[in-house]
Chain A
Amino acid sequence: MITLEHLRKNFGASAQAAVDGLSLTINAGEICVLIGPSGCGKTTTMRMINRMIEPDAGRIVVGGRDVMQIDAVELRRSIGYVIQQVGLFPHMTIGENVATVPKLLGWDTPRTAKRVDELLALVGMEPGQYRDRFPRELSGGQKQRVGVARALAADPPVMLMDEPFGAIDPITRTRLQDEFLRILRELGKTIVFVTHDIDEAIRMGSRIAILRAGKVVQYDTPERILAHPADSFVEAFVGGDRSLKRLALLTAGPYIEHGAPTAGAPHLPSGMALRDVLSVMLAAGADEAGIVGTHGDVLGRVTLDAIRNAANMAKS
């Protein structure tokens, strides 16, 4: 869906280019997370896709079209754009904000109004209540919901998101991540998502591109990056607790063994992440946990050994 070929960008001709011969292919329907330390070129790369920054060299193809051959303004109307500070227009109502791109594209009023209400409902904001409010009346989390609704308004196939949840408190952030992950997957959008938070990248990404000094160091699924970091930089970047992070990606279900759990073992749901299962077992001083299904029926048990095997990178 999106192809980046040998992109280069150097601001002010300094010795180190911001983006230095970067190549990447993103398939339709994927969420590609760009992550890396400050100055690695992740935001610059993202902003070159919709030509907010013009590349010095290289090619960008979106949906089969070379972006340099299209008028920039027209290009941007076909790509959703969400930034950290949201950038809602303070003098327009929420409804008017969301309607911005449809209006630019010349949609008629009834169609636009219907779409606005559809999207507000989709992002969890009751249209009747919020349509006529102003941005200053909203909380940070609500503003970002509106920001995403606004980006989805014209139903673009591709969305660019630059640290969209960065300015939001941690509790709301987790909730928003879950909700938007679900929405965006359902809609089948192709997303380029920039973040500096490795946990967010692991949660949100179909594939993660780890950037450093303007180049891609590793581009793979979260699971594989955690299991096999390409070099010491990536290893350090994903954190010393990467085996635990891997366990957070696995649920108890597939590791259930037959047999009744010992008396006094904690009982946990089958959908719980292995990492949390481990945490509960350690706290309880137990060697195993009973796993229960949705109706409270005991399905089996998960042992410490099983978890240890799951975490063992040498074996996977």
Chain B
Amino acid sequence: MKWLLRNWTDVAYALWEHIAISVTALTIAFALSLLIGIAAARRPRLYGTVMTLSGFLYTIPTLAFLAILIPLVGLGRSNAIITMVAFSLMILIRSVAAGIREVPADAIDAARGMGMNAKQILWRIELPLALPLIVAGLRVSAVTVISVTVVAAYVNAGGLGTLIFNGIASDHPAKIWTGALTACALAISVDLLLAGLERRLQGRRIA
């Protein structure tokens, strides 16, 4: 661990890069999934098509996806972010759509009957009640994105993976340990954080 103490700025930087890419990708994926998910929640056929397509994208192995993008967008962060968004779509769209579809029908009927228009129903009733499921989807996507970012270091996206790859290339176990364990710690903390949020939101769904 001497290595870590001497080089903690490098590690911190790698961690920062890692978080930055992950957050960017998640934000884009979330915004897209909200749009698509809300539309798909109301149209079963659209939902089916969207699920098949995004499921298809999700199944492709991480490194293969990154590699296939290289002739198209080259190396670097954009490559990584496109990959992460593609992988996150399936889970997030499904969470958004499922969350909205599970909103109690009588609450919606009452809201309509009281004179709320469609936009008001969406923002004041459906999305708040869908929130726990949406957060559950975010939780899984966040972990996926962190995992992809580790690999994406190989296509020059930066992040904690660079430590791992450097460590492997120069046979430097300390680097490998640091990179891998920090990535694991990041994944676990984010998962626990969002799990806590999910639990707190669950309370408000039951009537």
Chain A residues near B (Cβ < 8 Å):
50, 52, 73-78, 81, 83, 85-91, 100-101, 104, 134-136, 147, 150-151, 160
Given contacts A83-B110, A87-B111, A89-B107, 15 further A-B contacts (CB under 8 A): A52-B109, A52-B112, A75-B115, A76-B112, A78-B115, A86-B110, A87-B108, A87-B110, A89-B110, A90-B204, A100-B114, A100-B116, A104-B120, A134-B204, A150-B114
B15 at the interface (CB under 8 A from A): no
Interface residue ranges of B115-165 to A (CB < 8 Å): 115-117, 120, 124-125, 128-129
Collect the chain A residues with CB atoms within 8 Å of residue B173's CB.
Answer: none
Query: Are B114 and A76 closer than 8 Å at their CB atoms?
Result: yes
Q: Which one of A73, A81, A90, A100 lies within 8 Å of B104 (CB-CB)? A: A90
Q: B112 — nearest CB in chain A belongs to which residue? A: A52
Query: Are A87 and B205 closer than 8 Å at their CB atoms?
Result: no
Collect the chain A residues with CB atoms within 8 Å of residue B106's CB.
Answer: 83, 85-87
A85-B106, A87-B104, A91-B204 known; A76-B113 Cβ under 8 A: yes
Inter-chain CB contacts under 8 Å: number: 70
Q: Once the chains are docked, how many angstroms separate the CA of A91 from the CA of B206?
A: 8
Query: Are B107 and A77 closer than 8 Å at their CB atoms?
Result: no
Query: Are B129 and A91 closer than 8 Å at their CB atoms?
Result: yes
Query: Are B125 and A101 closer than 8 Å at their CB atoms?
Result: no
B72 at the interface (CB under 8 A from A): no
Q: A89 — nearest CB in chain B belongs to which residue? A: B107
Q: Once the chains are docked, how many angstroms separate the CA of A136 from the CA of B207?
A: 5
Collect the chain A residues with CB atoms within 8 Å of residue B128's CB.
Answer: 91
Query: Are A90 and B116 closer than 8 Å at their CB atoms?
Result: no
Collect the chain B residues with CB atoms within 8 Å of residue A83's CB.
Answer: 106, 109-110, 113
Query: Are A73 and B116 closer than 8 Å at their CB atoms?
Result: yes
Q: Once the chains are docked, how many angstroms separate the CA of A74 from the CA of B116?
A: 9
13 contacts between A and B (CB under 8 A): A73-B117, A75-B115, A76-B113, A76-B114, A81-B114, A85-B106, A87-B111, A88-B107, A88-B207, A89-B110, A90-B205, A90-B206, A151-B114
For chain B, which range describes its interface: under 10, 10 to 19, 20 to 34, or 35 or more residues? Answer: 20 to 34
Q: B118 — nearest CB in chain A belongs to which residue? A: A73
Q: Which of B110, B115, B206 has the most CB of A within 10 A?
A: B115
Chain B residues near A (Cβ < 8 Å):
104, 106-117, 120, 124-125, 128-129, 204-207
Overall SS of chain A's interface = mixed
Q: Once the chains are docked, how many angstroms separate the CA of A160 from the CA of B114?
A: 11
Q: Which of A73, A74, A86 has the most CB of B within 10 A?
A: A73
Q: Which of B110, B117, B128, B205 has the most CB of A within 10 A?
A: B110
B141 to chain A, nearest CB (A): 23
Q: B117 — nearest CB in chain A belongs to which residue? A: A73
Collect the chain A residues with CB atoms within 8 Å of residue B124's CB.
Answer: 89
Q: A136 — nearest CB in chain B belongs to which residue? A: B206
Query: Are A88 and B110 closer than 8 Å at their CB atoms?
Result: yes
A90-B104, A91-B205 known; A81-B116 Cβ under 8 A: no
A83-B106, A83-B109 known; A89-B125 Cβ under 8 A: yes
Q: Which one of A50, A86, A89, A134 lies within 8 Å of B111 (CB-CB)? A: A89
Q: Once the chains are docked, how many angstroms separate the CA of A76 from the CA of B118?
A: 13
Query: Are B115 and A87 closer than 8 Å at their CB atoms?
Result: no
Q: Which of B106, B108, B205 has the most CB of A within 10 A?
A: B106
B77 to chain A, nearest CB (A): 38
Q: Once the chains are docked, how many angstroms separate the CA of A138 from the CA of B103?
A: 19
Collect the chain B residues with CB atoms within 8 Å of residue A101's CB.
Answer: 114-115
Query: Are B115 and A135 closer than 8 Å at their CB atoms?
Result: no
Q: Once the chains are docked, how many angstroms separate the CA of A166 from the CA of B43?
A: 32
Collect the chain A residues with CB atoms within 8 Å of residue B206's CB.
Answer: 90, 136
Query: Are A87 and B109 closer than 8 Å at their CB atoms?
Result: yes
Q: Which one of A52, A76, A87, A136 lies within 8 Å of B107 (CB-CB)? A: A87
A26 to chain B, nearest CB (A): 19
A83-B109, A90-B104, A91-B129 known; A76-B115 Cβ under 8 A: yes
B41 to chain A, nearest CB (A): 18
Query: Are B114 and A90 closer than 8 Å at their CB atoms?
Result: no
Q: Once the chains are docked, how many angstroms separate the CA of A151 from the CA of B125?
A: 17
Collect the chain B residues with CB atoms within 8 Å of residue A81's CB.
Answer: 110, 113-114
Q: Once the chains are docked, how many angstroms separate the CA of A162 from the CA of B114?
A: 14
B200 to chain A, nearest CB (A): 12
Collect the chain A residues with CB atoms within 8 Å of residue B114's CB.
Answer: 76-77, 81, 100-101, 104, 150-151
Collect the chain A residues with CB atoms within 8 Å of residue B115's CB.
Answer: 73-78, 101, 104
Q: Once the chains are docked, how many angstroms separate the CA of A134 from the CA of B206?
A: 10
Q: Once the chains are docked, how many angstroms separate the CA of A147 from the CA of B205?
A: 18
Q: Once the chains are docked, how many angstroms separate the CA of A100 from the CA of B125?
A: 11
A88-B107, A90-B104, A91-B128 known; A52-B113 Cβ under 8 A: yes
